[in-house]
Amino acid sequence: MGIVNVTPDSFSDGGRWASTDLAVEHATRLIADGADLLDVGGESTRPGATRPVLAEELDRVVPVISELASRGVAVSVDTMRAEVAAASVAAGAVVVNDVSGGLADPEILDVVAQSGAVYVAMHWRAHAEQMQRFTHYADGVVAGVCQELGARVDAALAAGVRAEQLVLDPGLGFAKDGEQNWELLGGLEEVEALGFPVLVGASRKSFLGSLLAGPDGPRPIPEREHAGVALSLLLAQRGVWGVRVHDVRATTDALAVWRRLAAAQGRRVQEDA
């Protein structure tokens, strides 16, 4: 899943693709680099970000989605708002990626149920300006995330969303500190045990910067890519549904090497047998 931020304030590349033309140009490069799906978002969810008004978000994402869909590109909309989800699906989006899992706007579940779009429900506790106040998990982060994601699954199913539409995202960095992110990744099999495909978005996030910290502090955002690619490769090897990344080419290159080596190893096993 390649990231297309049509925003002025996203943590990694805010403002670089903030117009329709620039966003479509960037998206076209990501497809050429091997993206299977493009996630178009008009609201930054970085820690401390403030929300755009509805009209701003619609103006940012709908023209981009419409243009990409007209070219046959598979598009996801990254939104927490029912109105944006509905307009985006009408414009051609096939996935609704809701970082709030329906908590920010419960009516988004009705939109998904009626549209039949794939629905990514992420673990979430609060909006960006407040989320890091909610990092306490009484029974540990893995158990807490699984319990709360399970509740979002129940809500989605009750709204008429079919089980086969659902994908879950553990929400790295959202109401979680650096160590909790690693604990969650280490316990990812418990999220998978909920019985739904899993999407993971780790690209360039602060816990990678902290891992790679030097004398001057955490590794700067643009210099975290190698670590993100390594993590995406490990996640792909375990069979996650998707990885959400900024640098599509680096990730697909790593996946191509892994797949080619796996094929060679498979042939060797067959020949030895």
**Residues with catalytic annotation?**
205, 244
Asked if residue 107 lies in contact with residue 89, where contact means CB atoms within 8 angstroms, the answer is: no
Q: For residue 258, count other CB atoms closer than 10 A to its CB.
A: 14
Task: Give the distance, in angstroms, between the CA of residue 259 and the centroid of all CA atoms in the same chain.
Answer: 23
3-state secondary structure the chain: CEEEECCCCCCCCCCCCCCHHHHHHHHHHHHHCCCCCEEEECCCCCCCCCCCCHHHHHHHHHHHHHHHHHCCCCEEEECCCHHHHHHHHHHCCCEEEECCCCCCCCHHHHHHHHHCCEEEEECCCCCCCCHHHCCCCCCCHHHHHHHHHHHHHHHHHHCCCCHHHEEEECCCCCCCCHHHHHHHHHCHHHHHCCCCCEEECCCCCHHHHHHCCECCECCCHHHCHHHHHHHHHHHHHCCCCEECECCHHHHHHHHHHHHHHHHHHHHHHHHHC
Beta bridge partners, 77, equal 40, 96
Closest alpha carbon to 95 in 110, 113, 76:
76
The two tokens of residue 149 are 């994601």
